[in-house]
Amino acid sequence: MCSTMTFSTDESPLPPRFSRYTSATMKTIHRSLFALPLLTTAALGAGAFYGDPPDATHPWAIHDMNRPQPPRVEPGTNGSPPSDAIVLFSGKPEEIEKWISDKNGESTKWVVKDGALQCVPGSGYIRTKEEFADCQLHIEWAAPAKVEGDSQGRGNSGVFLMGAVEVQVLDNYNNPTYPDGFASSIYGINPPAANPLRAPGEWQSYDIVFRRPVFKDGKEVDPGYITVFVNGVLTQDHTPLEGGGGHMKRSSPKPFPEKGPLKIQDHGNPVRFRNIWYRPLPKRFVEGGEYSRMSEEATAKKRAEIAKGIREDAAKLQGNAKMLRLFESLCYAENEDAKHTAMLMLGAFVTDAKNTPDVKIESKKGEILNVTKALRYLTKFKFLPEDIAAKKDLESIVKARDWEKKK
Ligand code: MG
């Protein structure tokens, strides 16, 4: 909670849009808001006219309650997938149907044994029937407990994102090899930053964040990245894909298809896999050619959409709440009708405040302070002219009654 925040009405931390309610109703709302964890931010006061407004590449204000709440995902327990995961293998024999031979697209000869999907050497790679691209992938694997071979010959397999980028699977517990072919290397691209492997025969977990390369009009706008945690330890930190890597040859940037299968390698060792799931990731802001930042065009479009939603909300409200929502909409996009209506309502509000006799003015303190605060914000960020008469009128009422006196 921001320590500089001030509450204007009977110490209520509710945003101004709630100001149409009576004090008793507000107490009820206040209680119910605190009972709902998702609304706690609202209860803490991050309402309209609070943080810095939207700008050319940020469609939302700082601490903007118009911004959508993050979608609820039930986390897994004891290693189970989260609620929105797409499960590719959880240990059931029938899940072999989700995989096919990469060689001929027919049923694979890999087997499900003791809840694990096991490579049958010589049978070839497998791939998912399902195709996807940007994802969070979880996969667990175990090299054979009986140590055979060395370097690239010991417990070798591989997880191929979109069938193209190999995150190496290799028993490197006590087994040196070329570093860019090490377990959790991006094969032929980048060695892992650490070797946190457990002993052969034990289960190892990979948690991978994968972003495919994005090209626009033949030009690379995003090289694609991969991040890997091995047994909870970071080994690849947003490593650029450089075209995807490979064996012996240096790869160079190239466009990827929209989606592809997940492949697992047969490298001649009976490596086992279990608990394989992924979550598709949201799109990146690559419109306009800039990564991780919205283009001005996309921002303007989003701001217009937010403003429209706020005006629609305002249409359902009355009085001050309506007026303040209409003013709020102007912070996202100009709209003559909204501004005209809000200014008319403001004029009526100020006239009423000025004509309210002293004995009754205290009952309007909260509303007057809320509107004053809104006008200060709107003028500070130039959504309204600085010398607007309504602001001066309300500030003189506030000052005359010493309503903002520091305690
Ligand atoms: Mg491999």
Q: What is the pLDDT of residue 15?
A: 38
Indicate the DSSP class of residue 121: T
User: Could you list which residues have their CB under 5 Å from ion ligand 1?
Assistant: 156, 158, 265, 267
Measured in angstroms, how far is the CA atom of residue 388 from the centroid of ligand 1?
70
pTM summary value = 0.82
Answer whether residue 26 shows pLDDT above 50.
no
Class of residue 276 by CB neighbours under 10 A (exposed 0-12, middle 13-18, buried 19+): buried
Measured in angstroms, how far is the CA atom of residue 144 from the centroid of ligand 1?
15
Picking from 307, 313, 309, the residue whose alpha carbon sits closest to that of residue 333 is 307
Answer whether residue 66 shows pLDDT above 90.
yes
Measured in angstroms, how far is the CA atom of residue 251 from the centroid of ligand 1?
17
Of 51-55, 214-218, 396-400, where does mean pLDDT reach its minimum?
Answer: 214-218
Span 262-310, pLDDT tens digits = 999 999 999 999 999 999 998 776 544 445 578 888 899 999 999 999 9
Which domains does the chain show, CATH number per domain?
A: 16-59+294-400 (no CATH), 86-287 (2.60.120.560)
Measured in angstroms, how far is the CA atom of residue 168 from the centroid of ligand 1?
5
Distance CA 88, CA 212 (A): 20
Measured in angstroms, how far is the CA atom of residue 265 from the centroid of ligand 1?
6
Measured in angstroms, how far is the CA atom of residue 274 from the centroid of ligand 1?
17
Average pLDDT over residues 22-39: 40
Measured in angstroms, how far is the CA atom of residue 156 from the centroid of ligand 1?
5
Span 341-382, pLDDT tens digits = 999 999 999 999 999 999 999 999 999 999 999 999 999 999
Measured in angstroms, how far is the CA atom of residue 282 from the centroid of ligand 1?
29
Span 127-177, pLDDT tens digits = 999 999 999 999 999 999 999 999 999 999 999 999 999 999 999 999 999
Measured in angstroms, how far is the CA atom of residue 106 from the centroid of ligand 1?
22
> Reduced to 3 states, what is the DSSP secondary structure of residue 320?
helix
Measured in angstroms, how far is the CA atom of residue 169 from the centroid of ligand 1?
6
Measured in angstroms, how far is the CA atom of residue 98 from the centroid of ligand 1?
21
C-beta of residue 142 within 8 angstroms of C-beta of residue 283: no
Distance CA 167, CA 186 (A): 5
Measured in angstroms, how far is the CA atom of residue 183 from the centroid of ligand 1?
8
Measured in angstroms, how far is the CA atom of residue 214 from the centroid of ligand 1?
25
Q: What is the pLDDT of residue 41?
A: 38
Picking from 9, 6, 67, the residue whose alpha carbon sits closest to that of residue 38 is 67
